[in-house]
Structures are given as C-alpha cells and as structure tokens.
Amino acid sequence: MTSGEGMDHKELKELIGEVRKTFRLLAGMSNAMLEERGLTASLLAILEYISDNGSSTVPQMASAKSMKRQSIQAIVDKLLAMGLVETVLNPTHKRSMLIALTEKGTASIRMIFAEEMQVLGRVTTGWTGGNIEQASQTLREFRLQLTGLGTGGTDLEARP
Amino acid sequence: MTSGEGMDHKELKELIGEVRKTFRLLAGMSNAMLEERGLTASLLAILEYISDNGSSTVPQMASAKSMKRQSIQAIVDKLLAMGLVETVLNPTHKRSMLIALTEKGTASIRMIFAEEMQVLGRVTTGWTGGNIEQASQTLREFRLQLTGLGTGGTDLEARP
DNA sequence: GATATCTTGACAGTTTGACTGTCAATTGAA
DNA sequence: TTCAATTGACAGTCAAACTGTCAAGATATC
C-alpha cells in the first residue's frame, strides 16, 4: 500500500523515520534509567530546567515549556514532596515563590548526567566515524525549514 | 570524526538535543493535522500498520508494537466505531478476526499522507539541499551503537 | 478422539501526565 | 484608589497506556 508516495521526498521521509526511531530508543533508555531512581521524564525535565535557568516560578516554567501552569504545579508538588526542590522567597514578587533545587536535587541531577556521560562514552569509543556535527547541522536546518509551517511540540515528552 | 582525548561528548549531546527538538516539532505538527480529522497519533499508528503490513489480528499488532493486546483492542474498537477498519474472517484462524482497512480508512490515510507530502514539498523546495542522506546514515549508525546498551522504546508515541 | 494447554475476546479497573475550568486572594498598573 | 491580570489551590476531564480475570474456542499432544 501507500502507493503514490512522492519520490522526491523519499530521503526526507527516511530522515524523519530515523529521527523517530532514534528518539524512541533514547527515550526508552532514559526512562529505564530514571525508573531506577524513582524519577520520570517530566520530573527530570523540570529539574533540568531549573538547573539550566536557575530558580524560577511555576508560571515562568509553564510559559517556557508551553504548558499549563497547573501541569507544572503538579510536577513541582511532586518534586517538593521528594525534597528535590524547595520554595524560596521571590524578591521581585511577593506572592509568586521561586522554585529552587535543593542539595539533594542538585546531587540527583548530577548523578543522572554522570550516568548519561558513561553511556555516551561507550558509544563514542566504539564509534569510529559518523559526521555527528554535520547531522546536527542538517537537523537544525530541517527544523528551521519546518518552523513557521506549523505548530511546534508543546508538552513534556520522554526525555532522551 | 576526531577521535581521542579532546572529544568530550558535546557533539553527541548536541545531536541528541537536535533529535529531541526535531521529533517534538514533527509530533506537534502531526498532532495538529490529525486533530482536524478527529484522529490521534495512536489511531493513525494502527491504521498505518495495517496499511503497511496488510490486515492483521489484534494480537499480531500487539506483538509487533510491543504493546498489550488490550491496548491495541481499545484502539481498534475506536477505529471500528469510526468505520475506518472492519473485521474480516481469518482463513487461518477461526476465532481471531483480521482487522482490515475499510474504503473510508484507506481514503483517510491517503489524505493524511498527501498532506504530509505537501508539507515536505514546501520544505524541499525552500531548502538548498543539506546532507539528508548523510544525516540519516549517521543516525542509523548512532542507533546501532546504542542498541544493546539499553532497552528501546516500546509504546506508541506521537507520530511525526 | 479425548484431553490438556494455549489463545482470544470481553470486561473491569488502575495509573500517569497532560488538559480545562473555576475561585478567591494578591498584585501591579492605570 | 480602583481594577484587570496574575497566582495558587482545588476539582474534574481525557487519552493512552497498564494489569488482572474469565470463559469460550482453538491448537497441540498423546
């Protein structure tokens, strides 16, 4: 079936297929790793956001991630219960508390990054060739071409 | 690539980031398109599977997609209710019915593919080339390197 | 051919992670 | 000072996966 497919776009469709497969492979591995630590992709996404961008308010993160603040709030509540983040007084806004990493949270995310490094290390040592930079560049260009033609992704998905 | 010591995994991490972003962009666009037609990613995934592999039983598809047959059954039930698939007598098994595309289902998936083609057409005309094949090859190699180091993805995710 | 062991379909319920909607209390700006 | 917008809190919806269970029907083994 699926006859009448444009021959012109064959390469592009294959690239899309590879992106899909790679994403799922990475997501599967990451989820397996996170599960061992009692974390989920969405929890890590927020930890990572704070780690990268510093303490932030819930509405800030919701906006940055194109998600509803209620959804972020639910994630933050879990992280608070786990002791991975804490609320901090916000100097610029009296009602909207900042969410900050605790020491435990910092340690947690550091361990996860370290384990990722290990896996990447195993890949790079066993991999002789591959134009990694070029592939990144191609994907970046591809995204640029697509942007403006439609809406981007919105939710927190499995995090490779 | 330059193997050896200077190689921290920066390039690789960037590639992973690009894969993530690209996947989400594609997923977002696809979901938006599907929504207009009252479909979802998982419904399309099953339609596409049947389109690619021919009429199949629910347990067959569950096995192929590493999902529980109950989950596939739920999706198939929806597709049946929408008139996009129908049950067909299975010559090789008297109890396990085959799920086949109806004419409406075939038309539906064809329309979706056509629309995808349109988008891809807009991309390819506006794009001066880029090493699409090479990027696909790199991703394929990357997946090959990763395979065996962890578990792959299992579920039906948003379909770009 | 009789029996034992999968399969299959059909229900029922749970979980997760996003969503929408609403409300009162603050807050910051006009 | 008044007022619209923001924030936190709470309640409910929804999609898509999951688990568990059962009986009827098929397959395979003897």
Nearest Cβ partner for B120 among A1, A9, A137: A9
Mean pLDDT of B40-57: 94
Does position A106 have pLDDT exceeding 80, yes or no? yes
Structure tokens at B146: 């990763």
The amino acid at residue B132 is I
Q: How far apart are CA B30 and CA B116, in angstroms?
A: 8
The H or E element spanning position A100 is: strand A98-101
Mutate to test the interface with B, among A146, A151, A155 (most CBs of B within 10 A): A146
Q: How far apart are CA A129 and CA A124, in angstroms?
A: 9
Does position B60 have pLDDT exceeding 90, yes or no? yes
Mean pLDDT of A70-78: 94
pLDDT at A128: 67
Unique residue bearing structure tokens 């403006």? A148
**Which comes out higher in pLDDT, residue B3 or A12?**
A12
The answer to whether the CB atoms of B52 and A1 lie below 8 A apart is yes
pLDDT at B32: 87
The answer to whether the CB of B85 falls within 8 A of the CB of B101 is yes
pLDDT at A130: 65
B63-82 residues near strand D (Cβ < 7 Å) = 66-68, 70-71, 74-75
The answer to whether the CB of B25 falls within 8 A of the CB of A147 is yes
Mean pLDDT of A150-157: 43
A41 touches strand C (CB under 7 A): yes
Does position A112 have pLDDT exceeding 60, yes or no? yes
On average, the pLDDT of chain A sits at: 83
The answer to whether the CB atoms of B20 and A25 lie below 8 A apart is no
pLDDT at B111: 92
Does position A156 have pLDDT exceeding 50, yes or no? no
On average, the pLDDT of chain B sits at: 83
pLDDT at A18: 92
A55 touches strand C (CB under 7 A): no
The answer to whether the CB atoms of B121 and A6 lie below 8 A apart is yes
pLDDT in tens, A120-146: 888 877 776 668 888 999 999 888 888
pLDDT at B95: 76
Domains of chain B: 39-122 (1.10.10.10)
Q: Return the minimum-mean-pLDDT range out of A146-150, B49-53, B119-123, B147-151.
A: B147-151
B118 contacts in chain A (CB < 8 Å): none
The answer to whether the CB atoms of B151 and A28 lie below 8 A apart is yes
Nearest nucleotide (C1') to alpha carbon of A96: D7
pLDDT in tens, B100-149: 999 999 999 999 989 888 888 888 777 766 688 889 999 998 888 887 55
Mean pLDDT of A20-26: 90
β-bridge pairing A85-88 and A98-101? antiparallel
A7 contacts in chain B (CB < 8 Å): none
The answer to whether the CB atoms of A25 and B143 lie below 8 A apart is yes
